[in-house]
Structure 1
Amino acid sequence: MKMISFCNKKGGVGKTTLCKNVAYKFALENKKVLVIDLDTQATISFLMQNENIDMSKSLHKIIASDCGMNINKVIQPTKYKNIDIIVGGETLKKSLIVMRELYDNDNFYLIGIKIYQSNQETFDGYDYVLIDYPPTTDDLSLNWLIFSDLIVIPTNNGSGSYKGILDLNNNLDLILNKLKMFKPQLKILFNDITETENKNKFEKWLKEINLYDNLLTIFIKHSENFTTSENDFNSIWENPYYWRQKQAYEELIKEIK
């Protein structure tokens, strides 16, 4: 099993779209995928839900049980073959309160690891666990980020997106140093940008914080019509157009497999 997180401490950079399209491509390759939605907005849950989905079955149920509940109780099938999901939603807001009540400072950032270790056989039954994060990157998010195998950080070339990367990297360093854990692999991806946008300034910023080597050479180009038209399809892979986006996704998937 490989755990891949899609995260940036900044909204509007395409985390959910990336996670959805990567999950669907893996599923088309007959890989078994578990998607975990950590966003209270639950966008990816909405996009993947079938008619029988129970939106109350988020990770909050596991956390509220002091990690005693089996993870299979909250894993549900989606409308896509080979993709299961643990949904997000408003119930996740309660988790942060419960976490503070049940766990002391020494164990606070080990909750995600505890859930994994208690359910390792189930998790390892999947080829990939893909996690979609909120833009806030709260303490629940950090619990899963710190032991991911890979963190994909989508970005545009704006200062706000750079600040999101900087804050995320600093938060990871702070917690991982305290826990004496190694940092997951980071890959930064220019996402939804035009060919004419100047990336030089952003690349200079990344060099200043020693993250330039984490920047992928591939990038996903912006299309005026793509966001609107993709709503009519299950994923980019069912869209008969936008071969450039598909090609970029193919290259991305080669990088993260």
Structure 2
Amino acid sequence: MKVLAVYHNKGGVGKTTTVINLAAALSKKNKRVLVIDLDSQANTTFATGLVKFQDEIHDNLKDNYIYQVIASRNDYSISEVARKSEFTNPPFYVIPSHIDLMEHEQELIQQPQALTRLLKKLDEVRKQYDVVLIDTPPSLNLYARIALITADYLLIPSDLRPFANEGLRNVRRFVNDVNEFRDSIKKDPIEILGVIASKVGTSPKFVEYTLPKMIETVEKHYGFPVLNSKIFERRETSKAIERLAEVGDLLIPDPISILDYEPNSPAAEEFKDLAKEVMQLARI
């Protein structure tokens, strides 16, 4: 089982879209995939179709999500909390998040053992999954720290624009800090797979002239390798995630992956290419 954290401390760089469609592409490669949502915004939980309720009364997530996994020593195993997502076929599993997660951060900070609970609980299911993808908050908070302590590899989505590039300095410092903790628990440093260019514009001139310079900047000035794969900003990818279904008088989120929505589209091919590259780099 290989564990990948998908992290950048800059928001709006396509992190969730990368996680869920990469998970779908890996699932279609016959890999047993678990996605863990460690972001209190719960975008991955929404995007994988796990939010089927309309109000707080019918909320079936708040008592059984990633918080309980981290907060409890003996209860709330991965197998108990993971839910099957029909986001793609074949399906993968998701440990959901919840908007309440942020309220628990200070409580968990008082429990040093919370930093390694996810790591230990994942170790119990090593034979059940081939790949674990952790979606992270765009911050330097406790949950991002837990993700980087837990993961074997780090994938950094970025639109390669100046603010995202400046954020890479914070990513580097954060990784160094986490690696010091990993060393204290006899865990090897996290292996950085590199930056995946995401939400990239599709203008031919931009792709031909500007994009190569942006990639060169990241590699030369910030010291991170950039993957060969690229995820372009395409409307069909958003439409697949935003899909709705009518259930009685209600409109219920019914998202699917771009690989199921338009399997022969350029967007689907981009995620297939990313899956191949990640499998090669992480030896999956």
Q: Does 1:183 align with 2:197?
A: no
* Pair 152,196 (structure 1): closer, same or farther in 2 beyond 3 Å: farther
Structure 1 position 17, deviation (Å):
0.7
Quick check: 1:146–1:184 contact (8 Å CA) kept in 2? no
Question: Match for 2:222 among 191, 194, 209?
Answer: 209
Q: Where has structure 1 moved over 6 Å in runs of 4 or more? A: none
Question: Match for 2:271 among 246, 249, 253?
Answer: 249
Distance 1:39 1:161 in 2: 19
Equivalenced residues, count: 247
Question: Match for 1:226 among 214, 232, 236?
Answer: 236
Distance 1:118 1:156 in 2: 33
SS of equivalent to 1:122: coil
Structure 1 position 95, deviation (Å):
3.3
Question: Match for 1:192 among 187, 194, 199?
Answer: 199
Distance 1:79 1:222 in 2: 24
Partner residue, 1:13 = 13
Structure 1 position 254, deviation (Å):
0.9
Q: What runs of 5+ residues in structure 1 fail to find an aligned partner?
A: none
Question: Match for 1:240 among 243, 262, 271?
Answer: 262
How high is the TM-score relative to the length of structure 2? 0.77
How high is the TM-score relative to the length of structure 1? 0.85
Matches within 5 A, 1:1-257: 1-50=1-50, 51=52, 54-56=60-62, 57-65=64-72, 67-71=73-77, 72-80=79-87, 81-103=90-112, 111-180=114-183, 181-194=188-201, 195-197=204-206, 198-199=210-211, 200-201=213-214, 203-211=216-224, 214-223=225-234, 225-230=235-240, 231-232=242-243, 234-240=256-262, 243-257=265-279
The letter of the residue matching 2:222 is I
Distance 1:228 1:59 in 2: 26
Q: What runs of 5+ residues in structure 2 fail to find an aligned partner?
A: 54-58, 244-254, 280-284
Distance 1:246 1:133 in 2: 23
Quick check: 1:49–1:78 contact (8 Å CA) kept in 2? yes
Structure 1 position 215, deviation (Å):
0.7
* Between 160-169 and 120-129, the greater mean CA deviation after superposition: 120-129
Quick check: 2:39–2:143 contact (8 Å CA) kept in 1? no
